Structure 1
């Protein structure tokens, strides 16, 4: 019996040390295999996810904006518009027009940049914008670097809006973000992206910066301000990034596009506040609701067409 116990114990010890030796000799190979499998699984995930959210007009209104509609306002709606305007808040007007199909477009004056010549460009021509928030996030364990984002215009066309309501200026604070000038048709290459605010305002963003994602990096949240002049454009972003496997390109937003709407120079209806004189209107409108109509006809907004204007 004693001999049998000794034999069994010897066998167990031999098996233990044999397995231990095997684990030691194969540990490096198994670690390399696991790392390769982990890296392959990591690369199978999207490099990053780009999420677009509209700007919160209630909490973060642009400084100066207009509202566009694809139909004319009725006589009753014009009376209600005048009443909403009399309350003195552009947001009150926006709240009235939004359920009627109104779409907000910002003034994007070139004066936001203090110098007429931008880095790498000859100034801006885009006057209208529809800003939005863009959030970039990566779940990859390995890091990646976005080193270029190029705007690509897919199509451009004249604005289809027929009614324009010009709202009084409101206070607005600067935001970190990127700006592209998309003026002109698809044959004119977009300018930018430029730094939207701060001490580097007007500089080409990717000439001086990159965006680091993955590897536990915080997500990047940006205000995007695309600018157009006389044409509404659909467009997308081609983002170039590098990771451990090389250089790649990812389209934002996925398979879709963004749309940035221009304001028509000859709308069928125009409503706006004439500085110091009150609410005015032009075109196919009820003039009784617009005490400053004559003054507005004499001094219309600079972008409103002189010829062909209603």
Structure 2
């Protein structure tokens, strides 16, 4: 009998404990859910708002129509002879100069008129910019501004120019970095092959939505310079549930470099259509049948942008 009573007491105790725990869980469920949600938000905000990836354009696969190759050294007589023996095929010229230390500089896409009256034109080095966010909460990038860190006169010793073989235009965004360190950058402008939005300031009409399961955003960026090679970065302005913020691209103290063409290189080679190579400066003139038709490169004059 005592055993039965003890068993009943144990069962009742267990039921009482279960009921007490159940009532406690119910009474604290809302608070715990609220606390968990706040913790999740805090962890979410600890992540970078977004991650930016900058990838230089692969010119081996995507050769521009018109370009200039820069080298920090002079070509030997044998290398000059090998260059001027080429028939001017753009891919062959690049394939020959790249192993010698050549760096590609494009002729910037021509877009007219630009929305704010900008008429600057120069050369560019295109790259791809990818933006991605793993945050659960969404965010909106409503502006991106280019900031010059430093600019210097270009110092390449050898310049080789291949003129355009046809129409050229790249889709993406164009940033105007022409001029020296005190000249303010402008843009980004839309590059869209003659479409109505071409030449418009991108962020006057567009935003970039990231996070909350949104797909990554990929841009092709064409920054143009003229008289100066510039080190620069991008400041992205964004808003989220906590307010307005800024994030640097590249992160930390990283910079982007866009190289200009020197106006007085030691050696200058240019392929003149239907005439051959023209060569100026400290060159051998071997194979340079079109020298009378070329001049040293002159960067376009920098014009202040209205407003």
Q: Provide the C-alpha distance between the structure 1 equivalents of 2:219 and 2:138, rounded to a whole number of angstroms.
A: 19
Q: How much is the aligned-residue C-alpha RMSD, in angstroms?
A: 1.9
What is the aligned partner in structure 2 of residue 202 from structure 1?
A: 199
Aligned partners of 2:227 and 2:299 also within 8 Å: no
State the Cα distance separating 1:154 from its structure 2 match. Answer: 1.3
Match of 2:285 among 260, 284, 287: 287
What is the aligned partner in structure 2 of residue 92 from structure 1?
A: 92
Match of 2:272 among 250, 274, 277: 274
> Where do 5+ consecutive residues of structure 1 fail to align?
306-310
Q: Provide the C-alpha distance between the structure 2 equivalents of 1:270 and 1:69, rounded to a whole number of angstroms.
A: 11
Q: What is the CA deviation profile of residues 147-181 of structure 1, one whole-angstrom value per residue up to 9, with x for unaligned ones?
A: 11000111111110111101243678755421111
What is the correspondence of 1:1-310 to structure 2 with a 5 Å cutoff? 1-83=3-85, 85-86=86-87, 88-109=88-109, 112-113=110-111, 115-116=112-113, 118-119=114-115, 121-169=116-164, 175-197=170-192, 199=195, 200-254=197-251, 255-296=253-294, 300=295, 303=298
Q: What is the CA deviation profile of residues 37-87 of structure 1, one whole-angstrom value per residue up to 9, with x for unaligned ones?
A: 11111111111111111101122222211000112111011112123x22x
Q: What is the CA deviation profile of residues 86-130 of structure 1, one whole-angstrom value per residue up to 9, with x for unaligned ones?
A: 2x5212211211121111100115xx22x33x21x2223131101
Report the count of equivalent residues. Answer: 295
Moved more, 174-183 or 150-159: 174-183
Q: Provide the C-alpha distance between the structure 2 equivalents of 1:174 and 1:5, rounded to a whole number of angstroms.
A: 88
Q: Provide the C-alpha distance between the structure 1 equivalents of 2:168 and 2:61, rounded to a whole number of angstroms.
A: 11
State the Cα distance separating 1:218 from its structure 2 match. Answer: 0.9
Aligned partners of 1:67 and 1:102 also within 8 Å: yes
Q: What is the CA deviation profile of residues 18-45 of structure 1, one whole-angstrom value per residue up to 9, with x for unaligned ones?
A: 1111111111100110111111111111
Query: Matched residue of 2:26: which SS?
Result: helix
Q: Provide the C-alpha distance between the structure 2 equivalents of 1:174 and 1:29, rounded to a whole number of angstroms.
A: 58
Aligned partners of 2:210 and 2:216 also within 8 Å: yes
State the Cα distance separating 1:301 from its structure 2 match. Answer: 6.7
Q: Provide the C-alpha distance between the structure 1 equivalents of 2:154 and 2:69, rounded to a whole number of angstroms.
A: 13
Cα 1:107/1:12, change in 2 over 3 Å? same
Aligned partners of 2:45 and 2:135 also within 8 Å: yes
Aligned partners of 2:263 and 2:297 also within 8 Å: no
TM-score by length of 1: 0.90
What is the aligned partner in structure 2 of residue 308 from structure 1?
A: none
Aligned partners of 1:61 and 1:171 also within 8 Å: no
Q: What is the CA deviation profile of residues 231-254 of structure 1, one whole-angstrom value per residue up to 9, with x for unaligned ones?
A: 111111111111111111111111
State the Cα distance separating 1:264 from its structure 2 match. Answer: 1.1
What is the aligned partner in structure 1 of residue 305 from structure 2?
A: none
